[in-house]
Structure 1
Amino acid sequence: MSDLMRLIPFGTMVEWIFQEYEEQGTIFGVRKNKFYKNNSGTNIVMFGDKLSTPIGPAAGPNSQLAQNIVAAYLTGSRFVELKTVQQMDGEDLRKCVAKPCINAEDECYNVEWSTELTVPEAYNEYIKAWFALHVVGKELGISDKRDFAFNMSVGYDLDGIKSPKIDAFIEGLKDASTTEIWKECKEYLLNNIDKFQRLTKEDVENISSSVCPSICLSTLHGCPPAEIERIARYLLEEKKLHTFIKCNPTLLGYEFARGILDKMGYDYISFDDHHFKNDLQYGDAIAMLTRLIEFSKELGLEFGVKLTNTFPVKIARKELPGEEMYMSGRSLFPLTISLANKLSQEFKGLLPISFSGGADFFNIEEIIKTGIQPITIATTILKPGGYERTTQLAEKIEPLLAGKFHGIDLESLERLAESVTINKYHVKSARPVGSRKTKSILPLYDCAKAPCKDGGCPIEQQIPEYLKLVSEGNYEEAFKVIVNDNASPAVTGTICDHQCQHKCTRLDYDSPLEIRNAKKIAVLNAQDKYLANMKKAKIVTKKKAVVIGAGPAGVAISFFLRRNGMEVTVLEKRDRPYGIVEYIIPEFRISSEMINRDYQLAVNAGVNFVYNVNENYDIEELKKEYDFVVVATGAWKEGIIPVKEGGENLRDALEFLEDAKKNDINISLGKKVAVLGGGDVAMDCSRTAKRAPGVESVSIVYRRTREFMPAEPEEKEQALGDGVIFQELLSPVSYDGKNLVCEVMELADIDESGRRGIKGTGQMKTLEFDTVVSAVGARVDTSLFEKNNLKLNDKGYVNINQFNESSSADVYIAGDCKSGTSTIVKAIADAKVIAKDILDKAGLTVDFERYNVVQKEETLYERKGILKANTKTKEDGARCLTCDQVCELCCDVCPNRANVMVRINNGPFNQTHQIVHLDGMCNECGNCGVFCPHTGNPYKDKITVFWTEEDFVDSTNKGFLPLGNDTFRVRKEDGSIIDHVLGDGQISREMNEVLNTILKDYSYYMMSL
């Protein structure tokens, strides 16, 4: 694998563009239905050019190669900020850039700053792109006249900018007519004009050689103020270029930046005041900008600021290699819009601003309405949907375009800057985004998967399938799909911790699908009829099973076994089923009616429940009557309370919640209540206490901050909505029945888990509470296991195998008693594992069938790149991307278009779409690996097409290098290297199908440079 990007000759690129378009309806993977055309005639004016949109890629990975710029243009980019060049380039720069260099998991980080090409190579790419946009614009009917502009970007010191290499670059973009690449591109088009239907010789002759009359000065952090002004004056006076200066967020000051990021939940982003002290200071900036505004007016040139540069932060969580990286995306937006507001107020709205700093679908309309233009984007198109996100942006703001810059609407901008701290799309805690990766290893073939069900759901529910059915109103079929894997659809449809939603790809777009709510909709519309039509399953085996405990695990195991034809008895010590759910979880979270729905599934299937029995069984005695024994007794033992004394005013969470539920929360707690802990149980305790008579205030006391509480985000929001107070960074020490003494904590550095560590300050704080509830985790009573001589592991839990079977044959352990308190859905997952093993031993067929609910491909591709707010209605399923049918995230997020999909309709594959990597277009940025739902990196782990011998040798990727005469050098699946002649039978059937398909249908991928 080589990080060298191999540049495609202009003629080859043009032929590739139109061959791919004719054969696949795409250009560099961009589908033709996402090509943007401004049909209204609106425009903005920049440096005398009319642009049909004010959007474009910011100087960065999406504007470094000609094909990147073509893809950007097709989807609506019309202001292209070319990737920055500087004196250090090529190999010298690549040695300084650690790889991988981009991580856009949520806010984006990068460790690159300028083009990795040599400056002459970068220049050639930009000229090729200039010609290519004229060609595709005219030939595809996008625009008869040039409706786009290029803006060059240079840095970082005056001597470097004056060097012959950079000077030639600048002059060549001012007038490219005498350069070799200009002549090459023009000659190719004129010599091949008969290949085009709309492009004419006259069109080619009229292509302007004035590529860039404007320039952006990229001011790397630490660039001296005097140097910035000298460069700007040089570019204005000597080079006669319209000039914008890229300003840094450090102008806002350390206290402001730290404060606003902390307030919005980005307190884990680590930086000190170093750059704030060494960068351009605000007062100096205002004076300098004032002088340059006047100077540019004297020269008759336009001058403004580019807001903002990326923000330097420390690498504290191993996001990327190295010590410092640059932040952008939604966390940069509050800084950038705040600086835009501050400067605009200073200059009375007359300072032109080119905006780049977290612009996306959810704020671009408001930005344009302030009068700011143009807007360049980076992070949003490095996420799933990729370049095709731009189409929606362009369409959204097309009606708002108003020609020339008319000044900034100061009131609108101030409102936007003030609102950012409560914008749910930018506040981290309101929309937490983590990795969507799962534990599966990225396969060489057949890699499309839906992380919501394969990694996000412990029982692997067929989520895309039932979402589609619910969205169509087909509730009965949806319920059948759900209950196939889920013995508690009503319970999980109401209170499941829905980890599936944390793995949903829509998180990278807008917000996760309302998967749990869709399940509940199916339940409310179909479960009653399903129950009414149920018949007891016929018993088809003499083998029997007994389950000890009727909690979620016990009910699920009994249901799965009984519906498959085995007699099952459940023994429960209490008088009702569902354990913690029935006795502990508050009624305001789940009603008894919803719990009973799921109980009836097991009853109607024929399960025999026996209540009010002693669970302290002799398992060997049970095995005389039953062939299989499952222990599912839960975790009911009180947790270790972190404070001592307190008497009756100090209560354990489970005892407290059970007492409250039994008495309809008519309990005496006093006026002030504290709950110790930060998990979901703590939230239940606090919300219950808030409803108790006489209670005036309830506080959650937790040793970390709210962001690091393990409770689900929505549980925290509901507690806050009920008026619960969060007392953060307090570690309880003692409680005497009135005074709760806590040590004040402070956040420390990021630990290996990704959470901020904590450390004590030694300072104590005393709070008065009438009742303290300890919600720090229930424990497992292991006496039953010890009595029956079941082997325990080092943690004190039963030692089990992969089927949850204990050291005693045919004795299984399930649910919370297996390894401590967990979730309902994980208890059901245990039930599936155990049921499958028992049924297999009994010789019975397991009925966890797969449903074939297929979406139309064109529908799924239509959804790609389209952001939408979620709904809690049945229609929310229409946002589902059905990732196990069409994934291609690695193709979306690659700025260089180095990952591609090839369609193979015949062959030994389970999926028709296979991913192929084009080595020559990759610089190992690593972004595809961030979003791939598997463990692995597509740029390393997928079948690869090589263009040069050097790259093949420098790689370990499996794949092909064309040698000519139907011969290919192949690195096979086992790593061995052979020279393969088509049809010689030396490679696997899978490799053979991929190679032949590329040659037949995607021959433009198989270049030999």
Structure 2
Amino acid sequence: MSDRMRPISFEKILLWITREVKEKESIFGIHKNKFYKNESGKSIEVFGEKLSSPLGPAAGPNTQLTQNIVSAYLTGSRFIELKTVQVIDGEDLPVAKPCIHAQDEGYNVEWSTELKVSDAFNEYIKAWFLLHILMRELNLSKQRDFMFNMSVGYDLNGIKSPKIDNYIEGMRNASNTKVWNECKKVITSNMNLFDNFNEKDLEKISPVICSSITVSTLHGCPPEEIEKISNYLLREKKLNTFIKMNPTLLGEKFVRNTLNTMGYVYITLNEDHFKNDLQYGDAVAMLQRLKDAARKMNLEIGVKLTNTLPVKIQNSELPGEEMYMSGRSLFSLTISLASKLAKEFEGDLQISYSGGADFFNVDKILAVGIQPVTFATTILKPGGYERITQMAQKLEKKLKGAFSQIDTDMLSKLLLEALNDKHYLKNSRTVESKKLSIELPIYDCAAAPCSIGCPINQQIPEYIALAGKKKYYEAFSIIAKDNASPAITAAICNHNCQFKCTRLDYDSSILIRDMKKVVVLNAEKKYIENIKPADIKSNKKVVVIGAGPAGLSTALFLRRNGMDVTVMEQKEKSYGAVRYAIPDFRIPYEMIDQDFELIKKQGVKFKFGINEDFNIDELKEKYDYIILAIGAWKPGRVPLKEGSEKAVNAIAFLERYKSEKENINLGNQVCVIGGGNVAMDAARAAKRIAGVENVSVVYRRTREYMPADSEELDLAVSEGVVFRELLAPMGIRENKLICQEMTLGERDASGRRSPVPSGKEVILDVDTVIAAVGEKVNSDLLKRNAIELDSKGFPKLNTACESSISNVYIPGDAKKGPATIVKAIADGKAVAKDILSKEGLNNDFEKKVIPIDEKEIYSRKGVLRDSESCEEESERCLSCSNICELCVDVCPNRANAVINVEGGFSSSHQIIHLDGMCNECGNCGIFCPYKGNPYKDKVTVFWNENDFENSKNKGFYIIDIKKSICKVRREDDKVVMYTIGEKDIVSKEMEYIIRSCIDKYSYML
């Protein structure tokens, strides 16, 4: 396998396109319903050329190959900014791989085409012809409604070199070039492929590919060099010119403050670029001179805003020391520079925009008078090229012809909006949070990350779909299969599923927990009414010590499947900390009671008010299986050097708050130590106590590192809780909390930046200190019962939570200390499965298959929309358990493809990788929910034997397609010769893939 792409011959790509569109109603996997046609008749004008859309891919990964440009055009791009060429090219141009990291913000370490300049030229000419053919053949337009804009860099001598000069001259008029004549010849000999395109259309195709150019000013390009290049292109080449300008023009202080304000504090700038790049005053003076020069020559000049921002690589996102930032983090900076320059020229400055443009802001950018608008990062994300269709449709009726003036007042307002727009603020999601810990399978890889990320693996897309159709009872039935506490988790689950949701890479997560709540409110009571306890199917008895979420879920799952279960609880009611410690403003008692009824109705027996000081030997005399779901109630150590005894335990305070809040006196000033959900509960509860004026949360790191759920942090702030960040509490002395000021140092093993003492002391006035520092497991109780413990005092358990004593299980918080409710339920599920297996009983956790409308799901791809209401959330769900294909979406080169395979698989949709179209940019690996890289781990189709031999990928190379002979690297890495039909040579799965490729997708081979 090589990171060098292999350009496809014009005849092959022509046959591929025409056959695919007729047989599959798609081109490079993009379905016809995403092809864009301007129905309004409105257009914009750039340098005298009319475009039916102001949009296009920026010079970059999406304009390097013919198929990239075709894909962009089909979906609505009409301003095609071709990837930059420079004198250093091909194998002489070192590009580190992987070279793209677009998980959230966008980063790259490549800048110009990886092809030789002559090969890049050929790709652009091939694309030029294909767009004309598709325009007529697909009835997208009667006249050319698109333009190409070439991009060159990075020094005048290089641009004057024969290599680049030939390129520019060829783009100015390609009629005498070899590739131009070859393409015409191929089209002429294949006219039978077309229904609408004809010889007259072919002769009308202009050989003038580009009448405009963009000067790419790589960071560090001397200011005088930029002006020399621009003058040369205007005066010598007579080309309308855009000049790329960099965010460094804004100055390091402004850029740093802006990034910090928007939450991108982790980005590390390189001060050298701010010193050495073009300076703002010089840029303005240069533009004034160039505008005068262009005017005298009846040409136009403008600026391309902006180039990427160079930043230091600190977290191994990409290889090397420096990478280039793009995407949403660049939006406010680019708008800032656009506003500043537009005011400087009183609105008379043409701007080609690129800097975090996406669906949520393209209309606002166009409205101020800026056009065209290009993008890269947004179409490197799930939805890919198909995102462009939605943007083009959004703008169609707002097109206003030629550039006239930028509305500087409106642009200033847009700048203010940009600084506060949620779509461009950094949120708490980390790069790693969406990835699953499961290896990428070679086949059948479609999976819902939300379901796999959920500790109890609920069938989330299925119940979301049913809820959207208001089939609440059916939806609840699916939820209740895996979830023993649906009402409670609908209110206070930490919803790990939402941090895995694919929609995070579109706009925002599906409101999964809220949807569950809708289902619970509409169906749980009826479901409970219809419960009939299962018959007892085993003569073995089970006792559960503890009626918290872990114990109750174990009891429910066992009883539902035929076991006799008794629950013993020392408190007078069920659900432990959920009932006794979590404040009622987070969850009402009614929802807790409702879930208890769900369990009780199944036939579980309960004994409340029982002493927890159990004896396993005595229990074994009556019960065959013992579940110790005793939780973690032992107060943790308060990290104070003095006065720790004066601190109030958070759980003890919350228990008292729920039982007698009106009798609590905390004084005026309250400080809560900790940054988790319990700390937020304590702080919010304290705010509700009479007499309390100020509540502060004291934490040794910053808010972004607090482990509490983001919404809990937001709620605390909205209720007036003050976060005192970077303070490490040292002691309580009289009515003072003594703290040490901290700074953030290097990242620790968890990825969090370690707090480092600054040496400064900060003293806070306080009447009450509440310590939310985590509760501990009562290991003494376990030790007394001869249960083996590890070095940390936790019980030694297997994956089913079984202890060192056979048939004695310890699920929930008693395992490792406080965890989430849903993890407790997951432990209960694991225990139940193990016991049922021992008893030879089946469990009822099997997944329910819900039919889906594939066309409807595909229609949602590439469509961004914010959450508007719970009722409409199901329309945003992408049904990832049935259709994933993210690796196909995000590949600029279309090197990952979906093929339809009949038989042998759980899904007919299978992914193959086309080796010759891949440059190992790594983008598919970033977005694949699994551990792994589709470009390495999926079945790979090789176009020649040399590539096959130089790769380790499982896959095949067709030696003789007529005889169906191929060379295969099997799943066990053994290389074999194989002819379709031979038995026991390759796996059935590999055979089905190869057979489908030959029979139905030979144009890809």
Q: TM-score, normalised by structure 2?
A: 0.99
1:1005 aligns with 2:1004: yes
Residues of 2 paired with 1:433 and 1:699: CA distance? Answer: 30
Where in structure 2 are the equivalents of 1:240-319 lying within 5 Å? 240-319=238-317
Choose 741-750 or 987-996, whichever is displaced more. Answer: 741-750
1:365-764 correspondence runs (5 A)? 365-429=363-427, 435-454=433-452, 456-646=453-643, 650-664=647-661, 666-764=663-761
Task: List per-residue Cα deviations over 1:237-286 (Å, max 9, x = no partner).
Answer: 11111111111111111111111111111101122322111111111111
Corresponding letter in the other structure for 2:489: T
Aligned partner of 2:933 in structure 1 is: 937
Q: Contact (CA 8 Å) 2:644, 2:731: kept in 1 or not?
A: no
What amino acid is aligned across from residue 1002 of structure 1 in structure 2?
Y
Count matched residues: 1002
Amino acid at match of 2:359: F
> What's the secondary structure of 1:853's corresponding residue?
coil
The residue that corresponds to 1:30 in the other structure is 30
CA-to-aligned-CA distance 1:628-667 (integer Å, 9 cap, x gap): 0011111111122122444775211111111111113552
2:861, 2:208 → 1: CA distance? 36
Report the AA paired with residue 309 of structure 2.
F
Does 2:87 correspond to 1:91?
A: no
Structure 2 gap segments, 5+ residues each: none
1:814·1:830 contact (CA, 8 Å) conserved in 2? yes
C-alpha displacement of 1:584: 0.5
- 3-state SS in 2 of match to 1:970: strand
Structure 1: unaligned runs, 5 residues or longer: none
Within 5 Å, which residues of 2 pair with 1:120-131?
120-131=118-129
- 1:431 Cα deviation (Å)? 7.0
Partner secondary structure for residue 919 of structure 2: coil
- Relative distance call for 1:439 and 1:267 in structure 2 (3 A) is same
- Describe the SS at the equivalent of 2:759: strand
CA displacement at 1:433 relative to structure 2:
6.5
Cα distance in 2 for partners of 1:457, 1:608 equals: 29
Look up the equivalent residue of 1:1004 and give its one-letter code.
Y
Q: Take 2:272 and 2:656, find their aligned partners in 1: how far apart are those partners?
A: 55
Structure 2: distance between partners of 1:83 and 1:750? 37
Q: Give the aligned partner of residue 100 of structure 2.
A: 102
For the Cα contact (< 8 Å) 1:424–1:431, is it kept in 2? Answer: no
Deviations 1:594-626 (A, max 9, x none): 000111111111111111111111112111110
Aligned counterpart, 1:915: 911
CA distance in 2, matches of 1:947, 1:125: 19
Q: Matched residues in 2 for 1:938 and 1:194: separation? A: 37
The answer (yes or no) to whether the contact 2:484–2:553 under 8 Å persists in 1 is: yes
Q: 2: CA distance between counterparts of 1:622 and 1:752? A: 42
Distance in 1, matches of 2:1001 and 2:750, equals 44
Please list every run of at least 4 consecutive aligned residues from structure 1 whose deviation after the TM superposition is greater than 6 angstroms. Answer: 430-433
Which among 220, 229, 234 is matched to residue 232 of structure 2? 234
| Contact 2:887/2:934 (<8 A) preserved | yes
* 1:898 maps to which of 882, 895, 898: 895
- In 1, the alpha carbon distance for the partners of 2:896 and 2:662 equals 58
Conserved 8 A contact 2:305-2:338: yes
CA distance in 2, matches of 1:959, 1:892: 21
SS at match of 1:332: helix
Distance 1:402 1:434, change over 3 A: farther
Task: State the match for 1:332 in structure 2.
Answer: 330
Q: What does 1:123-142 correspond to in 2, within 5 Å?
A: 123-142=121-140
Residue 959 of structure 1 is aligned with which of 955, 973, 982? 955
Residue 439 to residue 991, structure 1, CA distance change in 2 (3 Å):
same
Provide the secondary structure at the position in 2 that maps to 1:452: helix
Q: Secondary structure at 2:434's aligned position in 1?
A: coil
TM-aligned CA deviation for residue 52 of structure 1: 0.3
SS of equivalent to 1:38: coil
The CA distance in 2 between the partners of 1:76 and 1:647, in whole Å, is 65
Query: C-alpha displacement at 1:478, in angstroms?
Result: 0.6
Q: Which amino acid aligns with 1:89?
A: D
RMSD, aligned α-carbons: 1.2
One-letter code aligned to 2:438: S
What residue identity is the alignment partner of 1:161? Answer: I
Q: Partner residue of 1:992?
A: 991
Q: Does 1:15 align with 2:15?
A: yes
Residues 542 and 748 from structure 1, CA distance in 2 versus in 1: closer, same or farther, beyond 3 angstroms?
same
Q: Spell out, residue by residue over 1:333-386, the C-alpha distance to the aligned partner (whole angstroms, 9 max, x if none).
A: 111111111111111111111110100011111111111100001111000000
Query: Which deviates more from structure 2 when the two are superposed, residues 335-344 or residues 65-74?
Result: 335-344
1:814 is matched with which residue? 811
1:829 has 2:826 as partner: yes
Aligned to 1:354, what secondary structure does the other structure show? strand
- Deviation digits for residues 966-997 of structure 1 (CA, Å, limit 9, x no counterpart): 32111111111122222222221111110110
CA distance in structure 1 between the partners assigned to 2:254 and 2:778 by the alignment: 51
Query: Which amino acid in 2 is paired with 1:34?
Result: K
Q: How far apart are the structure 2 equivalents of 1:331 and 1:647?
A: 43
Aligned partners of 1:430 and 1:351: how far apart in 2? Answer: 38
- Using the alignment, how far apart are the partners of 2:432 and 2:356 within structure 1? 18
Deviation at 1:429, TM superposition (A): 2.7
Asked whether the equivalents of residues 677 and 700 of structure 1 are also in contact (C-alpha less than 8 Å), the reply is yes
Contact 2:28-2:71 at 8 Å conserved across structures: yes
**Which amino acid counterpart does residue 88 of structure 1 have in structure 2?**
I
What does the per-residue CA deviation read over 1:114-135, in whole Å, with 9 as the maximum and x for residues that have no partner?
1100000000000000000000
- Equivalent-residue separation in structure 2 for 1:378 and 1:499 (angstroms): 30
- The match for 2:979 is 981
Q: CA deviation at 1:749?
A: 3.6
Aligned AA for 1:990?
Answer: E
Inter-partner Cα distance in structure 1 for 2:641 and 2:868: 47
State the one-letter code of the partner of 1:77. Answer: S
Q: Cα distance 1:734–1:172, how it changes in 2: closer, same or farther (>3 A)?
A: same
Letter in 1 for 2:697: I
Q: Shift in Å at residue 696 of structure 1?
A: 1.2
Mapped pair 1:782 → 2:801: no
Query: AA paired with 2:921?
Result: C
Between stretches 979-988 and 954-963, larger displacement belongs to 979-988
Q: Please state whether the residue corresponding to 1:595 is helix, strand or coil.
A: helix
| 1:729-767 deviation per Cα after TM superposition (whole angstroms, max 9, x unaligned) | 111111224111211111224445333333221111111
* Contact 1:472/1:875, CA 8 A, preserved across alignment: no
Instruction: Say whether residues 1:949 and 2:945 are aligned partners.
Output: yes
Distance 2:66 2:663 in 1: 71
Whether the 8 Å CA contact 1:29–1:900 is kept in 2: the answer is yes
What displacement does 1:808 show? 0.2
Using the size of structure 1 for normalisation, the TM-score is 0.98
28-37 vs 723-732, which moves further: 723-732
Rounded Cα–Cα distance in structure 1 between residues aligned with 2:429 and 2:773: 26
Kindly provide the amino acid, as one letter, of the partner of residue 76 in structure 1: G
| 3-state SS of 1:453 partner | helix
SS where residue 684 of structure 2 aligns?
helix
Query: Which moves more between the two structures, 643-652 or 155-164?
Result: 643-652
Contact 1:804 1:833 in 2 (8 A): yes
Instruction: Tell me how far apart the structure 1 counterparts of residues 739 and 160 of structure 2 sit (CA, whole Å).
Output: 62
Report the alpha carbon displacement of residue 191 of structure 1 after superposing the two structures with TM: 2.4
Shift of 1:836: 0.4
Write out per-residue CA displacement over residues 761-819 of structure 1, whole angstroms, 9 at most, x where no aligned residue: 11111111111111121111112111011111122200011111000000001100101
For residues 464 and 737 of structure 1, the distance between their equivalents in structure 2, rounded to whole angstroms, comes to 55
Partner of 2:79: 79
CA contact (8 A) 2:428 2:704 kept: no
Distance of aligned partners of 1:820 and 1:779 in 2 relative to their CA distance in 1, 3 Å threshold = same
Secondary structure, counterpart of 1:13 in structure 2? helix
